[in-house]
Amino acid sequence: MKKILLAVTGASGMPYAFSLAKALHEIKELELHLLVSHNAKDVIEKESTESLEALLAYAHTNYDITDFASAPSSGSWLHDGMIICPCSMASLASISHGCQTNLIHRAADVCLKERRKLLIVVRETPFQLIHVQNMQNLILAGASIMPACPSFYNQPKTIDEMVTQFTGRILDQVGIENTLTKRWK
Ligand SMILES: Cc1cc2nc3c(=O)[nH]c(=O)nc-3n(C[C@H](O)[C@H](O)[C@H](O)COP(=O)(O)O)c2cc1C
């Protein structure tokens, strides 16, 4: 059984988080382990048409991000990769500087030290120098950074199509086969 850890933080881009959680939920032989920051809950309320409860329902296991005694806190708990989507600049900075102030930052730190896949879907615009330096720091430490930029070469007709295409690209990054992305031939 594959295990994917998905962390949702308080940046704009909740449609990506919902789309990703749904796609991961629908994959047989895969457990979705979910971490939602306090600020993410606030952003979900402000920008999403879907509820926090709907997001949590996609998960095999939900974690309290103040609980450092739960499984994702330990390198001995094996999983197949962590995605942070969307990732705020605040969480990016905490992870970049090793500040393990909540379970999301701790679990990301564990991925880096254990050399496991860590994919960070950042969302802010424009970037200032500290954001870029934090991204550089994390790439050097082994993470992958994927800006939440939808593509247009697939000629999306709706927001949903844009989100779905991008969700497929995220799954590609963590090695999960999918047919969500229209592939360039
Ligand atoms: C509606 C809303 C949208 C936000 N969008 C962003 C964003 O796109 N990027 C970002 O870095 N912060 C954004 N923020 C600010 C973060 O929520 C804030 O920095 C928070 O401390 C992040 O905490 P977290 O990473 O623990 O969730 C937004 C806040 C609100 C209320």
pLDDT at res. 22: 98
Evaluate whether 164 touches 123 at the Cβ level (below 8 Å): no
119 lines ligand 1 (CB under 6 A): no
The two tokens of residue 66 are 């103040």
42 lines ligand 1 (CB under 6 A): yes
Which atom of ligand 1 lies nearest, measured to the CA of 102?
A: 26
pLDDT digits (tens, 9 = 90+) for 7-46: 999 999 999 999 999 999 999 999 999 999 999 999 999 9
43 lines ligand 1 (CB under 6 A): yes
Q: What is the mean pLDDT of residues 107-115?
A: 98
pLDDT digits (tens, 9 = 90+) for 48-58: 999 999 999 99
15 cis-preceded (ω within 30 degrees of 0): no
10 lines ligand 1 (CB under 6 A): yes
Domains and CATH numbers, the chain: 2-173 (3.40.50.1950)
Which atom of ligand 1 lies nearest, measured to the CA of 47?
A: 1
pLDDT digits (tens, 9 = 90+) for 113-165: 999 999 999 999 999 999 999 999 999 999 999 999 999 999 999 999 999 99
pTM over the 0.85 mark: yes
> CB neighbours (10 Å) of residue 115?
9
